[in-house]
């Protein structure tokens, strides 16, 4: 074969090969383009799905936030209701306690009224038996005639003059204000009920001859006790109606008065904010007792000396008493 033919054949073969390669490239380009478009569609769908899911997530987050806000709102309302319920329960409990207190108070007052009525009936029947009123007192210089009550004491004999009596608070020993000193000097009250005979009469009586003193005390539980002194003497007005003498003590109440020997009969006053008033009382200095103080309708632990109390009786201290009486009598031979 000639060289020219070989060259032509070689060129022809190269041209066919190049055309085949070009065709293959074109086919690849088409395939790549198709795949690219398909991938673009997939990417778009995925992006759309992502956007959709992001919106759903945002909606869910907003829903959760709204739900939390609603929950917080409901929790606040529930707490408000619980607070209201607690307040109502507290009011109910307070009302119940108040009603219980008022019922107990009414019950105690009714019981006290019944006891007082019974005690008054007993006291009246006893005093009808043992007391007598007279208007004639043995003549003593300077002592004018006055009405007095005498009583027999079963365990101590007859002829006792009642000089003081506290039974129910019907006579105020504490609210005489400007007349306080004079009243305790001259005496006041009702000899058929509560009264104080007066310091001037005590002075004249007990210095005219030797007298003994008998003190009767009654507790709110009904128990009764007494203190007795065999030489009771009260000084003059210029001496401040001091307790000049008591003599020897005997009895079951304990000696709460001897600390006042040679001490004056003093007048006291104090502003009581709870009562909104000034109260007075008068008694001998130095005593571990006071029978002329404010009358309490039930047993009360006193914060000062203003009450009816006898500190040495069973170590009760300043615990108010229900009733008391003081008697004097010329010393019996």
Least confident of 4-8, 76-80, 121-125, 185-189: 121-125
Computed over its alpha carbons, how large is the radius of gyration of the chain?
Answer: 54
pLDDT of residue 124: 40
Binned at pLDDT 50, 70 and 90, residue 129 comes out as: very low
Question: How is residue 192 annotated by DSSP?
Answer: T
pLDDT tens-place string over residues 89-105: 776 776 677 667 667 76
pLDDT of residue 221: 94
d(CA 284, CA 16): 152
Q: Which domains does the chain have, with CATH numbers?
A: 135-330 (3.90.215.10)
Cβ atoms 282, 291 nearer than 8 A:
no
Contacts (Cβ under 8 Å, ≥6 apart) of 112? 297, 298
Where do runs of H (alpha helix) occur along the chain?
3-130, 180-186, 199-208
Residue 56 confidence (pLDDT) above 90: no
Residue 6 confidence (pLDDT) above 60: no
Residue 121 confidence (pLDDT) above 50: no
Whole-prediction pTM value? 0.62
Mean pLDDT over the full length of the chain: 82
Query: Buried b vs exposed e over 119-136: b needs ≥16 C-beta within 10 Å?
Result: beeebeeebeeebeeeee
3-class state of residue 238 by DSSP: coil
Contacts (Cβ under 8 Å, ≥6 apart) of 131? 149, 150, 151, 162
């Amino acid at each position: 074969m000639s060289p020219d033919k070989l060259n032509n054949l070689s060129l022809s073969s190269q041209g066919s090969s190049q055309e085949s390669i070009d065709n293959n490239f074109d086919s690849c380009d088409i395939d790549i383009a198709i795949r690219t478009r398909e991938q673009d569609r997939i990417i778009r769908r995925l992006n759309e799905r992502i956007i959709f899911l992001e919106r759903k997530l945002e909606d869910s987050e907003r829903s959760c936030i709204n739900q939390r806000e609603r929950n917080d709102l409901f929790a606040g309302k529930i707490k408000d209701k619980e607070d209201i319920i607690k307040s109502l329960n507290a009011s109910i409990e307070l009302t119940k306690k108040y009603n219980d207190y008022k019922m107990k108070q009414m019950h105690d007052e009714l019981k006290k009224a019944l006891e007082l009525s019974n005690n008054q009936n007993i006291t009246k029947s006893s005093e009808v038996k043992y007391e007598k009123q007279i208007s004639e007192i043995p003549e003593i210089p300077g002592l004018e005639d006055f009405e007095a009550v005498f009583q027999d004491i079963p365990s101590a004999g007859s002829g006792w003059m009642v000089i003081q009596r506290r039974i129910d608070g019907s006579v105020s020993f504490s609210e005489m204000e400007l007349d306080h000193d004079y009243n305790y000097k001259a005496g006041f009250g009702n000899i058929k009920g509560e009264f104080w005979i007066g310091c001037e009469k005590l002075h004249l009586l007990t210095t005219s001859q030797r007298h003994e003193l008998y003190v009767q005390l009654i507790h709110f539980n009904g128990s009764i006790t007494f203190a007795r002194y065999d030489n009771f003497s009260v000084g003059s007005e210029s001496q401040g109606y001091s307790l000049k003498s008591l003599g020897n003590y005997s009895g079951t109440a304990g000696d709460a008065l001897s600390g006042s020997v040679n001490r004056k009969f003093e007048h006291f006053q104090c502003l009581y904010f709870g009562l909104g008033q000034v109260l007075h009382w008068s008694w001998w200095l130095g005593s571990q007792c006071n029978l002329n103080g404010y009358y309490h309708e039930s047993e009360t632990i006193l914060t000062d000396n203003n009450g009816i109390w006898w500190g040495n009786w069973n170590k009760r201290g300043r615990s108010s008493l229900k009733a008391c009486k003081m008697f004097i009598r010329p010393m019996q031979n």
